[in-house]
Structure formats: C-alpha cells, structure tokens
Chain A
Amino acid sequence: MTAVIGLKRTPLFDIHCASKAKLVDFGGWHMPVQYSGILEEHHAVRTAVGLFDVSHMGEVEIRGPEAGKLVDFVSTNYAAKLNVGQAHYSALLYEHGGFVDDILVHKLSETHYFLCVNASNQEKDYAHIRTVNRFDCEVEFASNRYSQLAIQGPKAIATLRKLTAVPLETIKYYWFTRGDISGVPALIAHTGYTGEDGFEIYIDPASAPRIWNEVLAAGAEFGIKPCGLGARNTLRLEAKMALYGHEITASINPFEADLSWILKMDKGEFIGRRALTGVAERGVTRKLAAFEMTGRGIGRDGYEVWIDGQPAGWVTSGGPSPTLNKNIGLCYLPVQKAIPGVPIQIAIRNQYVDAVTVTAPFYKRTKA
C-alpha cells in the first residue's frame, strides 16, 4: 500500500493496510472504503455484526459550571433535558440558520459534555464553539485523545459482551456508560450510524489496535466483518441518516433537511434561532425527499432532479440499496413536491430516468 503524503491516519492504519483494505482520501483522512466488499460488509451489519474504524471522527469536550448553557446556546437540541448518561443528535448552526455540522451530544455530568463531530469539520466546529463561548466553561479539542470504533449489527451486543463486565443490555438506546473493554477505559454508547442496533466506543488511541483485533476475535463466531466507509454510507442512506456535505450544508437549514425534531425553538436563545424563527413564519421553499428509481439507472449524488420537464432539485445521496435491492436516494425538491408518490426524473448522464418519491427511512430494523 502506497501512502499518500499529507493524509491523516488513524491508529489502525497499519492494520487496514495489512488486511488489504482499499484506502481512500476521505476529508483529508486515509480511510478504508472497503475490506472484503461493500455488499458483503453491508449484509454483515444487517444480519450479524460489523466493525468500523471511525477514529477520524472528532471529539470536543466542554467542562465547567455553565457547560450545559454553552451546549444549549451553540446547538439546536435541548441539552438541559438530557440526563447524565444520555446522548442525543443535534446540530451546530450559523446565525443564518445553515449547518456548521451535525453532532452527537453526550452528557457525562452536570458540568461535563462530550461532543462527537464530523472528521472534516472538527477544527471548524471547535473554533465555532470557542468563538461563541461567553459562559463559565472550557472548550477542549479532544480528538487526539480518542479513537472511535463502531460495533454495529444484531450481534453487536453479543460480540461486545465477551469483552466487558458492563451490563450492556441495561444501556438504553442513545444512552452510554463508562466502563472497561478488555481492561481499557471506554465510553460505551448505544448509538450508531447504520440503522442497526449497536455501540460506538471511544478509547485511548494507543489501545485501539489491540481492541480492534479483540472485537474481531470476539465476533468471529457470528461472522463479524471489518467494514469500511462504503458500507457505512449504504447503511446510513437506507436508514435516511443525514451526511454532512450532502443532505446538510451551510446553505441548508434544519427545516429543509427534515430535521425539525432536533430544533427546540422554545428552549431559549441559540445560534441560528432568530433566522429560523423567520423561516418558520415564512415556510420553506424546498425540502428533503426520498426516492427510488423506477427506470433503469442509479441516481447518484449531485445529479439533477426534473419534474414535468423542468429542473426541480438535486440528488444529495443516491445509490443501490443492498438490503432492498433497489436504487434509492435522497434529494431536495420544491416543498409541495416533497411528499411520497410524486413521479420525478433523474438526469443520469444525458438521459432522464424515471423515479418516484417514497416514504423514508427506506429500511427500519425490527426491534428484538
């Protein structure tokens, strides 16, 4: 494997190379896009268990008497409502209401919050949070202190159980705990980006290679597969989870992105609230919609969407759904068209191929 100069590496880089993973430049990081194959990895997560290196993701910690006030001022969801040990999905916005990033907020204590942010946004997010901090708390760029592994799939809990005394089944969805995994202190969160059951663990980077190998060994009897960013993308698309730079950008607001559920307009002042109050009064003109192809072809990221012979929007994410065996996608459409059952065309390489808007998520796991 030839290393590309200038790309950042996770502590698992050597393991990825040794396992013949296909590595790509992902937002400045040298990351595995696939190991055995995207389809095989995707199916492993849906039917058994998969292991992802997501150490490129960033971490920001906020500590101090007014840590909660800063989190509520800088993000859209209602952090004051979180219990200690609970996490939620949220967003950082600009004053104009567009996205800085989407994030996970974990409440470690009344005075300590742990934020997981996107890899390519971590410096920007950190600077953004510091800039607006007028509260009695400290903001730490903590990415260098953590590696993150995601263990996802119906057998995730059975896999991880072998490596820890923590009673994993007592951790509710979107809750977390601190405990040891193979003797390594970890933050163990019942979260994920696959639409499947699973855990995301945050550990010391120096321990990451050993824990990676131990998780693979623990999951061997279930058919665990190391998974790359390719499968991560097909899995999250089926679950209609947003990806920064695709569904959410600086020029998209949470109403448009169909994320009004993380927008707590009544919680008090937060960055972006004033602009969004205006948006709420006027209404949005475009909105995220889900589609599936009815004609032959795959609507992919960036392709134009046409309705009645007119350009009407664009595909934000699109591709084959390995679980459903259909070609699916998400797109922005005029708000009155962003409802299920609307015939649309995707401009695929100079051809207009039929598709139809559908309800999403495309895939929803059946709870055990």
Chain B
Amino acid sequence: MSYPDNLKYTKQHEWVLAEDGEGAIGITDHAQHELGDIVYVDLPKPGDTLEKGHSLGSVESVKAVSDIYAPVSGEVVAVNELLSKHPEKLNEDPHGEAWLVRVKLTDPRELGELMTAADYEKYVGAE
C-alpha cells in the first residue's frame, strides 16, 4: 500500500486531506491493518468542535477499541454516514471512501506540523 502524497499524516496514524479551508480526516492503511476487522465506528456530530491531539471518537475491531485523535482543530461539518452501516469500508478503502469526518479548519497552520507521505512511510516502516 502506498500513502497518497496529497494527505498529511500523524504519528497516531490519522490523515488529513485539506482543501479550501476544510479538511477530511481518516485513519491510515497501517492503522486499519493493525486493528484488523473493523466492526464499529463512533464519530462526533456535525457542529462538534475538535481540538488537535484530542480524541474525536473511536474505531473498534473485533478484538479491541482504539481512539482516533484529531490531527487538526476544527468544527465538524460532515460525518461519513456510510461507516455506521458499513464499518468494514475502513478496512477496504481507508484513504478514500472511508473518510471519517470533514472539518472547517480552525488554524490551517497546524497542517505544517503533520508528516508528509514519505515521512509517514518511513515512520511506519521503522515502527
């Protein structure tokens, strides 16, 4: 699996795709692989405020529950409804169809603190 260049990544294995002051947030292929079969996703509601580094929800596999940390701060403008019925999409297409939430970015400068695809690939390779 290659990590798309247009995403920015965190050490906790989330990604952000930023465009026009908004950002889509998801978990990485590495994260879904480590979790195994994902069966449940707990997400915030539109209008909720996310603070960078704080838990925004959780992803549960058969075996375990794992927090998702906001890679950037912002206000939730959309939640991926697909995942409540089809959490397994997170295993199938974590960088695309299975995005978690979209936020209106509070501070776009936060994006600069995230890893590039090349950095992230090195990071998970070494982990």
* A-B interaction: yes
Do A322 and B65 touch across chains, with their CB atoms under 8 A apart? no
Among A33-41, A80-88, A266-274, the stretch in contact with B: A33-41
The answer to whether A230 and B65 have CB atoms under 8 Å apart is no
On whether the beta carbons of A319 and B62 are closer than 8 Å, the reply is yes
Q: Hey, which chain A residues are within 8 Å of B60, CB to CB?
A: 298
Chain B positions within 8 Å of A, measured between CB atoms, are 36-37, 39-40, 42, 58, 60-63, 65
Interface centre among B36, B40, B63, B65 (most CB of A within 10 A): B63
Of the residues A22, A40, A298, A322, contact of B40 by C-beta under 8 Å = A298
Q: Lowest 7 CB-CB distances: which A-B pairs, in order?
A: A38-B62, A39-B37, A320-B39, A37-B37, A230-B63, A38-B37, A298-B60
Question: Per a CB cutoff under 8 Å, which of B42, B58, B63, B65 touches A38?
Answer: B63
Contacts of A296 in B (CB 8 A): 40, 42
Do the beta carbons of A37 and B39 come within 8 Å of each other?
Answer: no
Partner of B62, one of A297, A322, A349: A322
Task: Please name all residues of chain B whose beta carbon is closer than 8 Å to the beta carbon of A234 when the two chains form the complex.
Answer: 62
Residue interface mask A197-237, B partner, CB < 8 A = 1: 00000000000000000000000000000000010011000
Whether A300 is near chain B, meaning CB under 8 Å from some CB there, is yes
Q: A234-B62, A298-B60, A322-B62 are in contact. Are A37 and B36 (CB under 8 A)?
A: yes
Known pairs A33-B63, A298-B60; A38 contacts B40 (CB<8 A): no
The verdict on A297 contacting B37 (CB below 8 Å), with A230-B63, A319-B62, A320-B62 known, is no
Whole-angstrom CA separation of A230 from B40 in the bound complex: 17
Cα–Cα distance between A39 and B61 once the two chains are bound (Å): 10
Q: For B62, what are the chain A residues with a Cβ–Cβ distance below 8 Å?
A: 38-39, 230, 234, 319-320, 322
A-B contact pairs, 14 of them (CB 8 A): A38-B37, A38-B61, A230-B36, A233-B63, A234-B62, A296-B42, A297-B40, A298-B40, A298-B65, A320-B39, A320-B40, A322-B62, A349-B58, A349-B65
Cα of A37 to Cα of B40 in the assembled complex, Å: 16
Chain A residues lying within 8 Å of B37, measured Cβ to Cβ, are 37-40
In whole angstroms, what is the CA distance A99 to B120 when docked? 48
A residues contacting B by CB (< 8 A) are 22, 33-34, 37-40, 230, 233-234, 296-298, 300, 319-320, 322, 327, 349
CA distance A349 to B55 in the complex (A): 12
Cα A296 to Cα B85 in complex, Å, equals 12
**Which chain B residue has the least Cβ–Cβ distance from A320?**
B39
CB contacts (< 8 Å) of A349 on chain B: these are 58, 65
**Chain A residue contacts of B42, Cβ below 8 A:** 296-297
* A37–B92 alpha-carbon span in the complex (Å): 13
CB of A22 within 8 A of CB of B65, answer no
CA distance A69 to B36 in the complex (A): 47
> A158 CA to B39 CA in the complex, in Å?
32
Return chain A residues, CB-CB under 8 Å to B36: 22, 33-34, 37-38, 230
Question: What B residues does A40 contact at CB under 8 A?
Answer: 37
Residue among B36, B61, B62, B65 having the largest count of chain A Cβ atoms under 10 Å:
B62
A residues less than 8 Å from B40 (CB atoms): 296-298, 320, 327
Q: How far is the CA of A22 from the CA of B37 in the complex (A)?
A: 13
Give the residue name and chain of the B residue nearest to A300 (CB). B65
Closest CB of chain B to A340's CB: distance in Å?
A: 25
Report the Cα distance A19→B114, complex, angstroms.
34
A233: chain B residues within 8 A (beta carbon) = 63
- In the complex, which of the residues A33, A40, A349 has the most CB atoms of chain B within 10 Å of its own CB atom? A349
- Chain A minimum-CB-distance residue to B88: A39
Chain B minimum-CB-distance residue to A233: B63
Q: Give chain B residues whose Cβ lies under 8 Å from the Cβ of A39.
A: 37, 62
Q: Beyond A37-B36, A38-B63, A297-B40: 17 further Cβ-contacts under 8 Å? A: A22-B36, A38-B36, A39-B37, A39-B62, A230-B36, A230-B62, A230-B63, A296-B40, A296-B42, A297-B42, A298-B39, A298-B40, A298-B60, A300-B65, A319-B63, A327-B40, A349-B65
Q: Which residue of A lies closest to B65 (CB)?
A: A300
A residues in contact with B61, CB < 8 Å: 38
Cβ contacts under 8 Å, A33 to chain B: 36, 63
Q: Considering the chains assembled together, what is the distance between the CA atoms of A233 and B61 in angstroms? A: 13
A327 / chain B contacts, CB cutoff of 8 Å: 40
- Expressed in whole angstroms, the Cα–Cα distance for A320 and B39 within the complex equals 8
In whole angstroms, how far apart are the Cα atoms of A10 and B53 in the complex?
A: 40
By beta carbon, the residue of chain A nearest B57 is A349
